[in-house]
Chain A
Amino acid sequence: MRSPQFDNNELEQLLVRCADKDQAALETLYQRVCPQLFAVVLHILRRRDLAEDTLQEVFIRIWQQAGQYDQLRGRPLAWMISIARYRAIDLLRSQRRTVSLVEDELPEEFVAADEDSDSIEESSRTQRALRDCLRILSVPQQRSLALAYQAGLSHEAVAASMQQPLGTVKSWIRRGLQSLRRCLES
Chain B
Amino acid sequence: MNYARGDMIEMLAAEYVVGTLRGPARRRFERLCTVSAAATAARGRWEDRLSALALQLTPVEPRAEVWRNIRASLAADPRARIGERPRMTRWLPLAVAAVLLGIAVWLGPRLLPQIEPTVMVTVLGADPAHAQWRVERSADAHRLRLVTIAALAANPDKTYELWALPRDGTPPVSLGLLPRQGDTARALSERQAAALLAAGKLAVSIEPPGGSPTGAPTGPVVMVGVI
Given contacts A73-B47, A109-B57, contact A26 B19 (CB under 8 A): no
Number of interface residues of A (CB under 8 A): 78
Q: Which of A51, A56, A78, A94 contacts B70 (CB 8 A)?
A: A56
The contact sample of 30 A-B pairs, CB cut-off 8 A, is A1-B56, A1-B58, A2-B58, A2-B59, A23-B81, A23-B82, A24-B82, A26-B70, A34-B67, A36-B54, A36-B57, A36-B59, A38-B61, A39-B60, A56-B70, A60-B73, A63-B74, A64-B127, A72-B44, A81-B47, A82-B47, A85-B19, A97-B218, A130-B53, A148-B19, A148-B20, A150-B56, A158-B20, A173-B18, A177-B14
Q: Which residues of A contact B55 (CB under 8 A)?
A: 3, 36, 77, 123, 127
Interface positions of B (Cβ within 8 A of A): 10-11, 14-15, 17-20, 22, 40-41, 43-45, 47-63, 65-67, 69-71, 73-74, 77, 79-84, 126-127, 129-130, 153, 155, 157-158, 206, 208-209, 218-220
**Chain A interface SS verdict (over half):** helix
Q: How far is the CB of A71 from chain B (nearest CB, A)?
A: 9
* A-B CB proximity, top 7 nearest: A35-B59, A74-B48, A78-B51, A24-B83, A130-B52, A73-B44, A98-B208
* Contact call B126/A180, Cβ cutoff below 8 A: no
Interface positions of A (Cβ within 8 A of B): 1-4, 20-24, 26-27, 30, 34-36, 38-40, 42-43, 49-53, 55-57, 59-60, 63-64, 72-75, 77-79, 81-82, 85, 89-90, 93-95, 97-99, 109, 111, 113, 123-124, 126-127, 129-131, 145-146, 148-150, 152-155, 158, 170, 173-174, 177-178, 180-181, 184
